[in-house]
């Protein structure tokens, strides 16, 4: 494998190799989109429709799919079923592309051998929100980064970038969100190259960010 197929940085190369290993396992041809739903069964994960959940009150359902919809992407049952499968529930309000990233992260936790904590780690996110983690933060990073690498491999991302494809076009190609593509461009150090190829797009985004109202401080 050449350096053109791997991103700079030892940590990110490791994530990339793990992601490529998952693509090989799934027998996905080079540059083709990966379907996490097909891969989930190999990880012994059972994706259950939110509507199938029993025991939730109407009030709880309304809250989870309404005011709290942006506070969660998916959930995994801590205890496996008798046959060993682990239940995964995805937020039905999120796009299929966003669900792909969420499910891929859960798949990676399994393939990377991560063990959930008995006690959730409560942390403050970048926006001051309190979040409970099922895994150590290093495991969370590894699972998300590996999953992102499997969904959007560096070599293919670089080739599409050199073809002057936009982040939206790349996202459609890999069937992921535009935000995930931009994450991959940044962590693999392709962002500056992307900005030089799409100055109007990145300038508009930067202007929107500067003029958007800041969130109130949460103490």
Distance, CA of 24 to CA of 109 (rounded, Å): 17
Q: Tens digits of per-residue pLDDT, 83-126?
A: 888 888 888 899 999 999 999 998 999 899 887 754 343 344 44
Q: Tens digits of per-residue pLDDT, 19-64?
A: 999 999 999 999 999 999 989 988 889 988 888 888 888 898 889 8
**Bridging pattern class, strands 121-124 and 86-90:** unpaired
Distance, CA of 132 to CA of 122 (rounded, Å): 5
* CB count in 10 Å sphere of residue 10: 7
Selection from 128, 114, 153 nearest residue 12 by Cα: 153
Q: Tens digits of per-residue pLDDT, 169-183?
A: 999 999 999 999 999
Mean pLDDT of 64-68: 87
Structural contact between residues 143 and 114, judged by C-beta atoms closer than 8 angstroms: yes
Give phi and psi for 24, each to the nearest 5. -65, -40
Looking at residue 179, what is its pLDDT? 95
Q: Report residue 108 as tokens.
A: 């990676």
Looking at residue 178, what is its pLDDT? 95
pLDDT band at 218 (very low <50, low <70, confident <90, very high): very low
Q: Report residue 151 as tokens.
A: 């969904």
Q: Tens digits of per-residue pLDDT, 117-153?
A: 543 433 444 444 444 456 678 888 999 999 999 999 9
């Amino acid at each position: 494998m050449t350096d053109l197929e791997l991103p700079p940085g030892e940590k990110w190369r490791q994530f990339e190799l793990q992601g490529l290993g998952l693509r090989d396992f799934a027998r996905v041809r080079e540059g083709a989109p990966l379907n996490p739903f097909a891969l989930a069964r190999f990880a012994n994960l059972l994706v259950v429709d939110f509507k199938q959940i029993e025991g939730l009150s109407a009030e709880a359902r309304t809250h989870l799919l309404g005011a709290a919809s942006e506070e969660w992407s998916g959930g995994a049952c801590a205890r496996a079923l008798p046959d060993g499968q682990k239940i995964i529930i995805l937020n039905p309000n999120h796009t299929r592309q966003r669900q792909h990233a969420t499910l891929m992260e859960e798949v990676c936790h399994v393939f990377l051998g991560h063990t959930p904590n008995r006690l959730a780690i409560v942390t403050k996110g970048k926006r001051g929100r309190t979040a409970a983690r099922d895994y150590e933060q290093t495991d969370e990073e590894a699972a998300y980064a590996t999953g992102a690498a499997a969904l959007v491999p560096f070599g293919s991302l670089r080739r599409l970038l050199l073809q002057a494809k936009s982040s939206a076009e790349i996202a459609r190609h890999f069937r992921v969100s535009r935000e995930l593509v931009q994450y991959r461009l940044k962590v693999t150090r392709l962002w500056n190259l992307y900005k030089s190829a799409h100055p109007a797009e990145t300038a508009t985004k930067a202007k929107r960010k500067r003029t958007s109202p800041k969130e109130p401080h949460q103490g």
